[in-house]
Amino acid sequence: MLEAPAPTDPMIDQVIDGRYRLLRALERGGTGSIYVAEQISVGRCVAVKVLRSSLVDETKVARRFEREAEIISRLEHENTLRLFDFGWLEDGRPFLVTELLDGETLGQRLLRGRLGIGEAVSICCDILAALKEAHEKGIVHRDLKPSNVFLQKAEGDVRVRVLDFGIARRAASTTLTEPGMIMGTPAYMSPEQSLKDSIDGRSDLYGVGAILFECLTGRPPFLADSAQTLILKHALMQAPRLNQVSDGFPSPLDELVASMLSKTPELRPQTAQEALSKLEPFRALRGVAPAGLRDPSFESHYAPEVLTPTELRPAPLPARPRQAGVALLAGAGLLLLALAGLGTLGRAMVSRPIDIAAPTGGAPEAVVPAIPSPMLTPPGSPAPLEPVLDGPELEVTAEEPSTAPSTRRRRRPPPGFVDVRL
């Protein structure tokens, strides 16, 4: 029997699109509300998610709503929330209709304490199974966290459902974020996502590693009082190891979680299937209670990961298009022509002798022609020096070579300077 509507919400008891009667509010969030509704045509209960009326004019928010419906409609895995319908209200707000789940989120479950090894591993294996289909279809979730993982009660067991693909991205899609805006939840966000680098499915595997870490230890990998500090810790600090926070974890499981939380995507499992294959054997530990906590507030130090020499090697530069190469050669040619012009001008300026008047009371010994600068003179035989035609009061004298040692200390001028003796 369907529940009586609550009178506090004006949407309650409204029939939207002529097919769904809203019965009660199930959850209210920052962008919309989720209602339990009756699908009138078949009499079944469904969940209806409606955008908040104050955001009806926010084009990007409405577009995310529409994109979430589009993405979920492409996913068919049993561990992904199923979409039934999508439409628009008369006031322009979008809504989507999904299956109604009975149970609780993983975040609600963790409020009662951490999980056993087998239980935590089983939940994360189901998450990875859902991600495997999404990644193969080019979809990256980007917001994996305990509140987006639902533990559905099903025939005496629990079935995991991955929720909220609102900020998921397809590989070829454009972003809906403003410049400088970071989308995601800082406590579970991969370093490349927080730094606005390009991301792929390996970013989701980092999120799964953070969820598994919290399920096993009772706390996320990093603790901080602000989102900014959390982002910096995920980007710069090594995540603690399981056995640094608690006791009794198998070393292979400790190593696997550490690899999933690696700062470098290349050091993580490369696909959801690979991570699933490595994690699956630990399902057999179902019923194994977690050991005692060693240091619940353990924090690692600011220490970058040690990379192998191959990873330290700079990435090869991308090949330049042919047009860019032609333009580069043309620019180099123009630069050489300009330098040649400067060389010609320089030779014209220094190829003639420089006349310097003698100081008062003394007669000049000689005027030595300027030595052409090696920076401006091209290779080859030097041009003959011309005699002085102007300046009759000064004359050029050639110095006779002498084998006798000189008694005068003369300082040799640097190349390109004029040696003038007065």
> Residues with catalytic annotation?
143
> Cβ-count burial of 99 within 10 angstroms (0-12 exposed, 13-18 middle, 19+ buried)?
middle
Which residue's entry shows tokens 């300082």? Answer: 411
HSE-up of 42 (CA within 13 Å, CB side)? 5
Closest CA to 367 of 331, 391, 345: 391
From the centroid of its chain, how far is CA 304?
A: 16
For 270-317, the DSSP string reads SSHHHHHHHHGGGGGGTT-----BS-TT----S-PPPPPHHHHSPPPP
DSSP type of residue 146: G
Residue 187 is classified by DSSP as G
Phi-psi region of 154 (alpha: psi -120 to 50; beta: other; left: phi over 0): beta
As a whole number of angstroms, the distance between CA 243 and CA 180 comes to 37
Q: For residue 89, what are its two tokens? A: 């209200």
Tokens 């509010």 appear where?
25
Contact (CB, 8 A) for 53 and 93 = yes
Single-letter amino acid, residue 97: V
Q: How many CB atoms sit inside 10 A of residue 12's CB? A: 16
Question: How many Å apart are CA 313 and CA 321, to the nearest integer?
Answer: 24
What are the strands, taking DSSP E only, across 176-224? none
Sheet holding 149-154, edge to edge: 103-105, 149-154, 157-162
